[in-house]
Structure 1
Amino acid sequence: MTYYYRIAQFPQDAKRIHELNYKTFVEEIPQHRPNENGLMVDRFHNENTYVLCLKEEEIIGMIALRSTRPFSLDNKIGQIEDRLADPPKNPVEIRLLAIDSAHRTGRAFFGLMQALVNWCLKAGHDAAVISGTVRELKLYTRMGFVPFAEPVGTEEATYIPMIIVHDTFEQGAAKRLGLPMVNLLPGPVSIAESVQQALGKEPVSHRSPAYAQLLTSTTDMLKELTGANHLQLLQGTGTLANDAVAAQLSRIAGKGLILVNGEFGRRLTDHAKRFGLSFDCSEKDWGKAFCMKQLEDQFQSHHYDWVWFVHLETSTGIVNDLERLTKLAKENGIRVAVDCASSLGTIPVNLTKVDFASSVSGKGLASYAGLSFVCHHAEIEPDETLPRYLDLGLYGMKGGIPFTQSSNLLNALHQSLMNILESPTQHFEHIYLQTQRLREGIAHLGFRLLSAETASNSNVLTIELPPNESSKKLGDDLFLNGFRVHYESEYLTERNWLQLAVMNDVGDVAVERLLDVLKHLKKCRPTCLE
């Protein structure tokens, strides 16, 4: 039997919540007096956040969460922190844990607790406390709750103050559920166990022969993956790598053109402005492809020395045509710079004819954030007019190690590249097939995908929600059900967009489960919005 979870947000949710309250805390546990309407409205109803458990579209269980102090438990035993040896910094109180008796199985209870923990993680809570009924003490203990004070209540309704933190939950309910969180963010991405182990190796000096050998092996694999002639590894994010590219463009006399059809193309213009570059900007609506004929006319009617664009525009999911853009630029004597932060490792990338390309360790390459690199076609001489940290020529002169570098991050990246290059064709095929299955399934469910035609080869899917639905609420509900999706960036929230990014192999089972959850979350919405 499959259960689904969401936050209470629709008008009819309240009545079902009050009914469950009455059945549980009036009829079953005699904590409150009966009434004629069969409803019990909690005194903190307007302060509660309710996590609901559904079977199909029927609400069969709930947990109320309240972070306003004092807790009801504070009023019973005094401030809870005084009873705890290691008090939490930001606790939340669980109240009104109730499941319809027809569905009262361990699976439903544990699923609600998984949704609870997911919600707490997102809201920044480090612990949850509850007055646990003695009737379900064994079940609470199996979930990971630990008693921390003497029982309270009456003889008919006795409760034990209990607390759960993330670690005890992981040792309790999480092991029994066996449903790990599925990561569909464009970053940070899921990290393979072998990469995690590589990160934890004993660090070595960046001046040691062992480090130099590791760096050479890593850069060789990156060159194999990209076809690049030269590559310099930087200690920092993609922002640093793009600053290094801007530094090289500043050495080219003349004017450039920056292509913008999303947030990260827009950010390239900011890099260029900060370096005082002379450039024009060719803008398209977000998610729209560039017209090659228009660009050809622009290249021929203006004298540009360089063009800079994003390969996979993460903010929309569109893939700008790297091969055609590079060919067109070269035919017009224009140097090419490209941001490959989200494309490298997720779709095949050929940089053999690209002058400068930036990318990162923490997205499609499935390692930890903190390393970036710049591929370049020709050798670069050091330039003392540039900041030392951005001088790619200095990196080349120093064998790629001009400054202190982290062997731990390099170990992790090296291992992640080994994982990809073990079978690159299969790696890219898994990402493509899983993305296509999601694309087809989402369209079948009636969701609108941005740039459905022009982004068909993209591994980042952007769902456009109508004004009467909220991308944030849908994203929160998906998180409750075990899926991390992309919806909280400002450029997404202001457009009411939600994204699913397949940055590595998430597994066919996870893809089907996501589509199933989306189907049920969507089925409850039209009824509620009529």
Structure 2
Amino acid sequence: MQDGLLYKLAALDSEFEQIHRLNYETFVEEIPQHGENPERRLVDKFHGENTYIVCLDGEELAGMLAVRDKRPFSLDQKLPGLDSYLPRSRSLCELRLLCVKKERRYRKVLLGLFTKLAAYCEEKKYDLAIISANVAQGKLYRNLGFIPFGPEVGSDGARYQPMYLTPESYYGMKERTKLLSRMDGEASVSQKHMNLLPGPVDVSADTERAMAGTPVSHRTEEFNEDLARVKQILSSITGAKHTAVLMGSGTLANDAVAAQLSLTEGNGLILSNGEFGERLIDHARRWGLSFCTIEKQWGGRFSREETEKALDKNPGASWLWAVHSETSTGVLNDAGMLGEICADRGIDLCLDCISSLGTVPLDLARVYMATGVSGKGLRSYPGLSFVFYNHEIASRPDKLPRYLDLGLYAESAGTPFTLSSNLLSALKASISNFSAEERYAELRKRSDWLREKLSDAGYDIVAEKGQESPAVITIPLPERLVSRVLGMKLERSGYYINWRSVYLLERNCVQIALMGECREDSLSPLIGLLRDEMKSRHRA
């Protein structure tokens, strides 16, 4: 962002309306290329195929540039044998409609548009761009790195010189332009994509620096001190007495829990109300555990009555296993109620806390085993997983694979197996100043605000109010809105939400996660995009 200016890809209806009006001001009133009309707006004939790079001052359009890669180009119609004039290229695009409001015609606006253009062309892998340059501005285009070719085209009063731009000519110009180099660095900050995924999440600068440090052996005193400190902090966050740190995903940690349950007598009860409850069932089956289930539809939550009834029908149950925060639906299951039931019946409670660790208050002091990961609510890199427990665990080499034997971890002075010191250092950096009360309050406030805005925009949410995780919002899309299409549109505008998971695609859902760092003012444009998509659905 420069002097309050933002360079981005146009996405909102309000932005497109301003584009049509600036198009009219420039190519009807200033350059007599089209006829007048009483609406004073000009919709480009290729509007549906254009990608617009715009400069905004707040919500006001200051300048724009259109990019299109579908042949025939406008220049194809004006200059027969266009390709014979051009250097060989793998991927070609045409630039059109470069215009800046008269009162905004200073160097920074133009250079900012071309900075954003260069980033977009790199992303799309274009290696040649052509343009019809106003002959009166030929020097300006040459200074930007454009190379003229062929004869002039157009009509009297609207003469244009065909030009092309290559990556080499652009970057050569950039090196000679100190202002552009500075803008390029600053623009990369303001145009950073917003990560609204349930993992991986954005990390802080301190966490990033820790990850980039020099690796150390997992047998050193330095490593063991960091491991002990991380375990101490995790215990303070969760209330659990012991923590095993494994190198792997949450799936690994849940397999370790299943391995421990395979050593117990009796059978169990598994609760499932989403994709990750189903995966707990899969873990148990693969380990040959004896169990029964309560399986509810997406968005449902377990009541005390139905849980008690299932246990009454299964008097030999010695353990209960459930997902605390069901990532697929955004439902937060009632861990307190499950803990009470298990305590009253002398049953061991196991919880998947992979999406609740670091996003909601946890009290695992009475839980038999629970799992978590580094790359979600704790806002570090993925790669480390945890098993929390409160009892003593002995190694069982006669029953369990080495890597899943939690007793080996408990008996080790440090870690029994190789563990990345970089991942550990990054995690330590991310949680060293973890303020539970502040974190949970901010996340709840942001989630409540976003849920309200989504509802106002006409969207439903899977998890009912009062039963939801503040960190995950799952949205079932209405007819004519397709999760894959919507997700890709939002990505082009810089918002990365979750839509690629198979279980979301199958149900035509998208998901917004608030596990990383983000602010309400950064989310406001996303609401505008979603509101426009809903309006377009109604118009269709």
Q: Which TM bucket (shorter chain)?
A: 0.7 to 0.9
| SS of equivalent to 1:231 | strand
Unaligned runs of 5+ in 1: 82-90
Q: Among residues 161, 168, 171, which one is paired with 2:165 in the alignment?
A: 161
1:312 positional shift: 0.7
Describe the shift of the 1:170–1:198 C-alpha distance in structure 2 as closer, same or farther (beyond 3 A).
farther
In structure 2, the residue matched to 1:528 is 539
Aligned residue identity for 1:291: S
Match of 2:87 among 78, 88, 103: 78
User: Conserved in 2, the CA contact under 8 Å of 1:183 and 1:485?
Assistant: yes
Please state how far the C-alpha of 1:111 moved relative to its aligned partner: 8.5
Question: 1:152 pairs with 144, 149, 153, which one?
Answer: 149
CA distance in 1, matches of 2:126, 2:221: 47
CA–CA distance in structure 1, aligned partners of residues 467 and 129 of structure 2: 48
* Contact preservation (8 Å) 1:287, 1:450: yes
CA gap of 1:445–1:113, structure 2 versus 1, over 3 A, is farther
Q: Is the 8 A contact 1:50 1:65 kept in 2?
A: yes
Could you tell me which amino acid in structure 1 is paired with residue 285 of structure 2?
K
TM-score (norm 2): 0.79
Instruction: Tell me which amino acid in the other structure corresponds to 2:539.
Output: C
Equivalent residue, structure 2, for 1:408: 422
User: 1:479 offset after TM fit, Å?
Assistant: 2.9
The Cα of 1:473 is off from its aligned counterpart by: 3.5
Show the counterpart of 2:460: 448
Alpha-carbon separation, structure 2, partners of 1:52 and 1:359: 42
1:406 deviates by 0.9
Q: Which amino acid aligns with 1:224?
A: S
Is the CA contact (8 Å cut-off) linking 2:12 and 2:529 kept in structure 1?
no
Equivalent residues in 2 for 1:186-335 (5 A)? Answer: 186-302=198-314, 303-335=316-348
Residues 3-40 of structure 1: CA deviation (Å, up to 9, x unaligned): 9856699xxx9x9999999997899889xx97999987
| Matching residue of 2:406 | 392
Alpha-carbon offset, residue 333 of structure 1? 2.4
Does 1:345 pair with 2:336? no
What does residue 371 of structure 2 align with?
A: 358
Q: Is the 8 A contact 1:63 1:112 kept in 2?
A: no
* Structure 2 residue ranges without an equivalent (≥5): 77-81, 153-158
Counterpart CA distance in 2 for 1:227 and 1:139 is 65
Q: Does the Cα contact within 8 Å between 1:246 and 1:271 map onto a contact in 2?
A: yes
The RMSD of aligned alpha carbons is 4.2
TM-score, normalized by length of structure 1? 0.80
In 2, are the aligned partners of 1:7 and 1:49 still within 8 Å (CA)?
Answer: no
Give yes or no for the alignment of 1:476 onto 2:478.
no
CA distance in 1, matches of 2:192, 2:69: 26
Match of 2:308, as an amino acid?
E
Instruction: Give the counterpart letter for 1:210 in structure 2.
Output: E
Match of 2:497 in 1: 485
1:93 is matched with 93
Query: Is the 1:115–1:480 contact (alpha carbons within 8 Å) kept by the matching residues of 2?
Result: no
Q: Give secondary structure in 2 for the equivalent of 1:232.
A: strand
Report the 3-state secondary structure (helix = DSSP H, G, I; strand = E; otherwise coil) of the residue aligned with 2:166: strand
Alpha-carbon offset, residue 305 of structure 1: 2.0
Deviations 1:161-183 (A, max 9, x none): 13379x99996456258353322
- Are 1:430 and 1:505, in contact at CA under 8 Å, matched by a contact in 2? no
Amino acid at match of 2:213: K
Deviations 1:341-392 (A, max 9, x none): 1110111111111111111100000000111111122121111221211111
1:288 to partner: Cα distance: 0.8
**Residues 269 and 311 in structure 2, CA contact (< 8 A), matched pair in contact too:** no
**SS of match in other structure, 2:351:** strand
Confirm or deny that 1:131 pairs with 2:130: yes
Tell me the amino acid that sits aligned with residue 77 of structure 1: L
- Percentage identity across paired residues of the two chains: 36
Counterpart Cα distance in 2 of 1:117 and 1:254:
64
Per-residue deviation, 1:470 = 2.8
Q: Is the 8 A contact 1:179 1:482 kept in 2?
A: yes
SS where residue 226 of structure 2 aligns? helix
**Alignment check: 8 A CA contact 2:240 2:388 kept:** yes
Query: Are residues 52 and 153 of structure 1, via their aligned partners in 2, closer, same or farther at CA, if it must alter by over 3 Å?
Result: same
Distance 1:7 1:459 in 2: 26
Q: Distance in 2 between matches of 1:216 and 1:351?
A: 19
Contact 1:319 1:455 in 2 (8 A): yes
Which secondary structure does the structure 2 equivalent of 1:381 belong to?
A: coil
- For the 8 Å contact 2:28–2:34, the answer to whether it is kept is yes
Deviates more, 1:298-307 or 1:464-473: 464-473
Give 1:216 deviation, angstroms: 0.6
Q: Which residue of 1 aligns with 2:79?
A: none
SS in 2 for 1:79: coil
In structure 1, what is the Cα distance between the partners aligned to 2:264 and 2:287?
Answer: 12
8 Å CA contact 1:51–1:112 kept in 2: the answer is no
In terms of Rg, which structure is larger? 2
Matched position secondary structure for 2:433: helix
Measure the CA separation in 2 of the matches of 1:49 and 1:276.
57
Q: Quick one: which of 186, 192, 198 aligns to 1:175?
A: 186
Give, in whole Å, the separation in 2 of the partners of 1:338 and 1:140.
Answer: 62
The 3-state SS of whatever aligns with 2:432 is helix
Amino acid paired to 1:199: M
Displacement of 1:400: 4.0
